[in-house]
Amino acid sequence: MSGTGQNRTGRRPGPTRTRGAILDAARAAFATRGYDAVSIRGVAREAGVDPALVHRFFGSKEQLFVAAMQLPIAPGAFVDALLAEEVDGLGERLVRTLLTLWDTPGAFAPFLALIRGAVDNEAAATMLREFLTSEVLGRIAAAAAPDRPEFRASIAGSQIVGLAVARYIVRVPGLALADPADIVAAVAPTIQRYLTGPLGSDGA
Amino acid sequence: MSGTGQNRTGRRPGPTRTRGAILDAARAAFATRGYDAVSIRGVAREAGVDPALVHRFFGSKEQLFVAAMQLPIAPGAFVDALLAEEVDGLGERLVRTLLTLWDTPGAFAPFLALIRGAVDNEAAATMLREFLTSEVLGRIAAAAAPDRPEFRASIAGSQIVGLAVARYIVRVPGLALADPADIVAAVAPTIQRYLTGPLGSDGA
């Protein structure tokens, strides 16, 4: 007999199976409802476990998302770490750290999956948009110049995404074969200007 | 009786049907063999028509690709037109013209289809990479500064692609809702520097 919370051996599911059930429920929830509307409480209910258990396993909604999408880093925490140093070298640290991560074999695959989802269907695009807005762009905007910080963060993000698409997905030779140091040297000043420099021809 | 080159009414297929057969053959050829390995002669053979007819209908392999992919512009000819003016304002003309095009209802859809293909499967990524390298990036590189022109063209392209993904696909609010003039003012200096300005912290 297998009652609620018990598997076919008659024992309660172990931590690994429970963790898997939570991640399955989280993936389904994020894929259908986006990022903002999903709560740890809701995922716990759908996985048939106590919310405290989800908190104990994953800590936060961002970490639950990161585990569900198998990302090798937590983007929000990653940005926090970059922002802990002074804002002046932020563009360079951001580009260098991301290239080092993405150049690691296998490390780009989960990001490709997120981009593929967003390009393939509206619900996954909403999920990625809400995740980036809630956990990544807001943090970057907080460190950007006070003149249009959200625009600054978004346009910096667009250069990062474009770099990822061109180097790792379309693999145009001029970028796919380029030395990371050359890419950092070229792109870092762009990111830095977008975040803290003059934005337009009016010098504003 | 319907013999070769005849449809069920016993007449030879009209220009519309022939054109459709050529485009079907072209789409299949590009999707499986990429851009470089496809020839007008090969597409004609697969469509069962004379190569001269493909030339008469479409003019060039690029125009055949553009028709097959239903692009609202021919990217190579588009770049040629932009390059006909002086290189100094190229970044601004490029970003402004693309935003005007893509902001037109329906005009981004064919580009989305190309990006979606490239993100979804290797063969479509190869097709897009070869098309961009053959017809777009080479032309831009020819107008870029002599120091690493292919790298310059590719990195400029990465910012353009990132802008498209962020504004039209993921639709991050900071970019999706931004005034095109603000985007042009912010991004044009980036494109211009990538193409003709100093590329790195060494001032090179």
Q: Which of B152, B157, B173 sits opposite A133 (nearest CB)?
A: B173
Residue-number span of the structural domain to which A177 is assigned:
75-196
Looking at the predicted structure, is the pLDDT value of residue A106 above 90?
A: yes
Contact A119 B129 (CB under 8 A): no
Q: Is the same domain home to B89 and B55?
A: no
pLDDT of residue B17: 87
Q: Is the same domain home to A98 and A157?
A: yes
Rounded percentage of chain A residues whose pLDDT exceeds 90: 87
In a domain, A3, yes or no: no
Q: Is the same domain home to B85 and B125?
A: yes
**Do A35 and A43 contact (CB within 8 A), yes or no?**
no
Residues of chain B falling short of pLDDT 70: 1-13, 201-204
Q: How far is A155 from chain B (nearest CA, A)?
A: 7
Q: Is the same domain home to A108 and A156?
A: yes
Contacts A120 to B, Cβ<8 Å: 116, 119-120
State the ipTM, two decimals: 0.89
Q: Which of A120, A150, A171 sits opposite B120 (nearest CB)?
A: A120
What phi-psi label fits residue A194: left (phi over 0), alpha (psi between -120 and 50 degrees) or beta?
A: alpha
In a domain, A4, yes or no: no
Gap between the Cα atoms of B60 and B39, Å rounded: 10
Residues 6+ apart with CB under 8 A from B80: B139
Q: Is the same domain home to B152 and B131?
A: yes
Contact A182 B151 (CB under 8 A): yes
Gap between the Cα atoms of B132 and A185, Å rounded: 24
The amino acid at A15:
P
Token pair in block for residue A152: 């600054």
Q: How far is B38 from chain A (nearest CA, A)?
A: 19
In a domain, A202, yes or no: no
pLDDT of residue B30: 97
In a domain, A144, yes or no: yes
Mutating which of A99, A129, A158 best tests the B interface, going by the most B Cβ atoms within 10 A? A158
Contact A193 B194 (CB under 8 A): no
The amino acid at A149:
P
- Check the CA dihedral A151-A154-A160-A166 and report its sign: negative
Residues 6+ apart with CB under 8 A from B88: B192, B196
pLDDT of residue B4: 46
Q: Is the same domain home to B29 and B80?
A: no
Q: Is the same domain home to B58 and B85?
A: no
CA angle A112, A78, A85 (to 5 degrees): 140
Mean per-residue pLDDT for A23-31? Answer: 97
Residue A134 CB burial class (10 angstroms; 0-12, 13-18, ≥19): middle
pLDDT of residue A31: 95
- Point out the domain boundary residue: A68, A103, A131: A68
Average pLDDT in chain A: 92
Give the CATH number of the domain where residue A22 resides: 1.10.10.60
CA B116 vs CA A18, B64, B95, B184: distances in Å: 35, 20, 22, 25
Q: Is the same domain home to B99 and B63?
A: no
In a domain, A203, yes or no: no
Contact A186 B199 (CB under 8 A): yes
In a domain, B8, yes or no: no
The closest alpha carbon to B60, from B83, B76, B81, belongs to B76
- Point out the domain boundary residue: B42, B68, B94: B68
CA angle A138, A81, B200 (to 5 degrees): 90
Neighbours of B121 (CB within 10 A): 13
**Do B155 and B146 contact (CB within 8 A), yes or no?**
no
Q: Is the same domain home to A100 and A190?
A: yes
pLDDT of residue B103: 97
Gap between the Cα atoms of A93 and A89, Å rounded: 6
Looking at the predicted structure, is the pLDDT value of residue A88 above 50?
A: yes
pLDDT of residue B6: 47
DSSP state of B136: I
Query: How many residues does the structure list for chain B?
Result: 204
Q: Is the same domain home to B176 and B138?
A: yes
Q: Which of A162, A186, A200 sits opposite B186 (nearest CB)?
A: A200
Q: Is the same domain home to A22 and A105?
A: no
Contact A178 B112 (CB under 8 A): no
Q: Which of A129, A185, A199 sits opposite B170 (nearest CB)?
A: A129
**Do A10 and A1 contact (CB within 8 A), yes or no?**
yes
Q: Which of B153, B155, B165 sits opposite A161 (nearest CB)?
A: B165
Contact B125 A173 (CB under 8 A): no
- Structural domain count, chain B: 2
Looking at the predicted structure, is the pLDDT value of residue A192 above 70?
A: yes
In a domain, B153, yes or no: yes
pLDDT of residue A45: 97
User: What one-character-per-residue DSSP string does A110-126 give?
Assistant: HHHHHHHHHHH-HHHHH
pLDDT of residue B1: 40
Looking at the predicted structure, is the pLDDT value of residue A103 above 60?
A: yes
Q: Where are the beta strands (DSSP E) in chain A?
A: none
Q: Is the same domain home to B30 and B81?
A: no
When computed from its CA atoms, the radius of gyration of chain A, rounded to whole angstroms, is 20
Give the CATH number of the domain where residue A179 resides: 1.10.357.10
Residues 6+ apart with CB under 8 A from A47: A18, A21, A22, A24, A25, A26, A54
pLDDT of residue B178: 97
pLDDT digits (tens, 9 = 90+) for A38-74: 999 999 999 999 999 999 999 999 999 999 999 999 9
pLDDT of residue B15: 79
Looking at per-residue pLDDT, the higher value among A9 and A193 belongs to: A193
Gap between the Cα atoms of A159 and A181, Å rounded: 17
pLDDT of residue A36: 97
In a domain, B113, yes or no: yes
Residues 6+ apart with CB under 8 A from B14: none
- Point out the domain boundary residue: A68, A93, A110: A68
